[in-house]
Homo-oligomer: A and B are copies of this chain.
Amino acid sequence: MPKNENPGLRSKVLIVGCGFGGLEAARALAHAPVDITLVDRANHHLFQPLLYQVATAGLSAPAIAAPVRFLFRKQPNVTSLLGEVGAIDAAQKQARLIDGSALPYDHLIVAAGATHSYFGHDEWSAHAPGLKTLEDAFEIRRRLLLAFESAEKESDPARREAWLTFVVIGGGPTGVEMAGTMAEIARHTLPGEFRHIDPARARIVLVEGSPRVLQAMPESLSASAQHQLERLGVEVHVNARVTGIDAEGLDVDPAGDAPAYRIAARCIVWAAGVAASPLGRQLAEATGTQVDRAGRVVVLPDLSLPGHPEISVIGDLAAAQSHAPGREPRPVPGVSPAAKQMGRTAAGNIERRLRGEATQAFRYRDYGNLATIGRNSAVVDLATPVGPVRFSGVSAWLFWLFAHIYFLIGFRNRLVVLFDWASAYWSAQRYARVVAGIKPARSP
């Protein structure tokens, strides 16, 4: 197939970011008469819902990451580029990369996603890494595994206990998954391997500021999730606000009259807040658009920007509304199905504009919500035409498992992940307990 029949005549589509939204937009334009450039900071698309498995040594990185250019090797209208966009020049219709080069566009889709936010306490990031990239996952895996190693060598009981205390801040899906899996590792994977400590006695604490975990779920499922966590051996602290984090632990302020307390812990994971990519704010300034409190760009119903029909913002970077006929517009949640749907709508609107048709408003189809907690534990809240279907426990866990494997990118990875999980399930072992480049402490 010729790459490009009429290079001068075809529209240039630039897609910034190859998460779920950007990937889906590029795929949806496979047969459109456009030349697509897909630019991302990483060389891979990451299946983020399973990133916590890399952080907890259950999966290797390649099992959940596929090279972007491999994914588009058979779509000749896509050029994949490794690079970081620093700014959008809406007047010149080009994106400026931080290496100094520029990418011109006729149509732009910005899908740069979100990063973690420490609510103004960036100094906490050194002590409580978040989980967004593979590098983050490796850092958490390193801290998690080396904490047990340090505990094995520590002779002071209080210090040993701090090495054996693991705290996850934030009771959303990622926090619940992390805490549940940490408990599994401590109770099922490591026992028998140490001679001076009992890993099963490790303390796993989940700290959540609101009154319940999994706030996006109905209350009954939140309660079920908390119960399942506690059964796995996780201490769940709700209504507990974190007021300080340092190298030795964290300070917690409970709601009401309860006194503030401190948890001595050497491995702390941040799963509490996300903020939109800084590119959103720059884009908003360049186009006179609003951003919301989380830094997301407030888009029009068709996901484009006021006065800039050629620019769409999608995924976690967009503050979008769902427009269903005969219903009030509703905010779109920051979940991967929403990002994918926005990608398809933005791509379709580019095709409509090329054909001289009117664009369509975005409508989010909510198929429900699910979260896993650990071995045999999950909660599922499905939206079906006959109303919600809710269940938890083993059946929910199996549902979660197959849903995630089904949506994994690429046949190869699905098989690998299924195989890794099956073997992890039967052996309670975790495959990827490997830390590269350990720098042992030197005496002062």
Contact = CB atoms under 8 A, between A and B. Distances in A.
A409 to B, nearest CB: 12
A248 interface: no
Interface string A34-67: 0000000111100000000000000011110101
Interface stretch (A18-26, A187-195, A218-226, A323-331): A187-195
Contacts of A415: 419
Given A42-B435, A135-B437, A419-B419, 13 more contacts: A41-B438, A41-B440, A42-B438, A43-B438, A60-B60, A62-B432, A70-B429, A73-B193, A79-B195, A81-B153, A98-B441, A412-B423, A412-B431
Copies assembled: 2
A83 B133 contact: no
Interface stretch (A144-152, A257-265, A314-322): A144-152
A100 to B, nearest CB: 3
Contacts of A293: none
A121 interface: no
Nearest to A436: B134
Given A145-B43, A423-B412, A429-B412, A100 B434 contact: no
Interface centre among A195, A431, A444 (most CB of B within 10 A): A195
A48 to B, nearest CB: 14
Contact of A436 (B80, B138, B419, B432): B138
B82 A440 contact: yes
B440 A83 contact: yes
Interface of A: 3, 41-44, 60-63, 65, 67, 69-70, 72-74, 79-84, 97-101, 133-135, 138, 145-146, 149, 152-153, 192-196, 412, 415-416, 419, 423, 427, 429, 431-438, 440-444
A195 B42 contact: no
Contact of A43 (B74, B153, B427, B434): B434
Q: Give the interface SS of chain A, mostly helix, strand, loop or mixed.
A: loop
A62 B435 CA distance: 9
Nearest to A413: B431
18 contacts: A60-B60, A61-B434, A61-B436, A62-B431, A65-B434, A67-B193, A69-B194, A70-B433, A73-B192, A81-B153, A82-B149, A98-B441, A98-B443, A99-B442, A100-B442, A138-B436, A416-B431, A419-B419
A99 B444 CA distance: 8
A146 B99 CA distance: 15
Contacts of A145: 43
